[in-house]
C-alpha cells in the first residue's frame, strides 16, 4: 500500500518515479476535488493536467512544512480558483458564472438524473459563494481537517468553521425551499 512517506522518499531518490507514484496516489481524489469546483469533466481534466505539471516543476521545492496531500490540494485549489477567476473576468457577473456551472452540471453525463436529491444537492453546493464552496468541498467530500484546509486556503481555522457552518445552512435552506 502506497503512502505519502513512500512517495516523498521516491521523489527524493528518483524524481520521475516518485512523480509517477504521486500521480497514481492523487489522481482520483484530485480529479474529484477539481471536478466539484469547476463541474465540467473537460475543464477538470485540463486543470488536473496543469496541477500535475506545476507539481512536477516544483517538486524539488516541496519543503515538507505540511503534508504532501496538503501541498497537492493547495496547488489544485489554486488552479481551480485561477480558472474560475478567469471565467469571472470573461463574464459580466458572478451570477453568470454560477449559471454556467449549473448548466454544465445539468449537461454532464456524470449526473445521475434519477437521483433528484443528489442533483438538487449539487445545485445547492453550486449556489454557494466561492470561498464557502471550496471549504465545504474540502471538508465534506474530501474529509479534510480544518487545520489542513487552513494550510490549503491560507484561512484561519475559526473563519473556516464559520464558512462551513454558513455553507451547510445555505444548502439546507436550498434543499427545503427548492
Instruction: Give the Cα separation of 25 and 91 in Å (integer).
Output: 35
Q: Which pLDDT score is estimated for 138?
A: 96
Q: Which domains does the chain have, with CATH numbers?
A: 4-177 (1.10.1740.10)
Contact between residue 79 and residue 54 where contact means Cβ atoms under 8 Å apart: yes
Q: Which pLDDT score is estimated for 92?
A: 56
Q: Which pLDDT score is estimated for 60?
A: 79
pLDDT greater than 80 at residue 95: no
Give the pLDDT band of residue 20 (cuts 50, 70, 90).
very high
Q: Please indicate, yes or no, whether the overall pTM of this predicted structure exceeds 0.75.
A: yes
Give the pLDDT band of residue 4 (cuts 50, 70, 90).
confident
Amino acid at each position: 500500500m502506497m503512502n505519502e512517506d513512500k512517495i516523498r522518499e521516491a521523489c527524493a531518490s528518483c524524481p520521475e518515479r516518485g512523480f509517477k507514484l504521486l500521480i497514481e496516489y492523487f489522481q482520483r481524489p484530485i480529479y474529484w476535488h477539481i471536478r466539484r469546483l469547476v463541474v465540467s469533466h473537460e475543464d477538470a481534466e485540463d486543470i488536473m493536467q496543469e496541477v500535475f505539471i506545476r507539481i512536477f516543476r516544483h517538486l524539488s521545492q516541496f519543503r515538507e512544512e505540511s503534508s504532501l496531500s496538503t501541498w497537492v490540494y493547495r496547488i489544485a485549489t489554486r488552479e481551480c480558483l485561477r480558472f474560475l477567476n478567469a471565467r469571472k473576468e470573461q463574464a459580466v457577473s458572478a451570477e453568470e458564472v454560477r449559471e454556467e456551472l449549473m448548466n454544465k452540471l445539468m449537461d454532464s453525463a456524470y449526473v445521475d438524473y434519477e437521483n433528484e436529491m443528489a442533483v438538487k444537492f449539487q445545485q445547492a453546493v453550486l449556489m454557494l459563494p466561492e470561498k464557502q464552496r471550496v471549504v465545504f468541498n474540502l471538508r465534506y467530500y474530501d474529509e479534510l481537517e480544518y487545520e489542513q484546509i487552513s494550510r490549503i486556503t491560507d484561512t484561519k481555522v475559526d473563519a473556516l468553521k464559520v464558512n462551513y457552518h454558513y455553507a451547510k445552512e445555505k444548502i439546507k435552506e436550498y434543499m427545503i425551499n427548492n
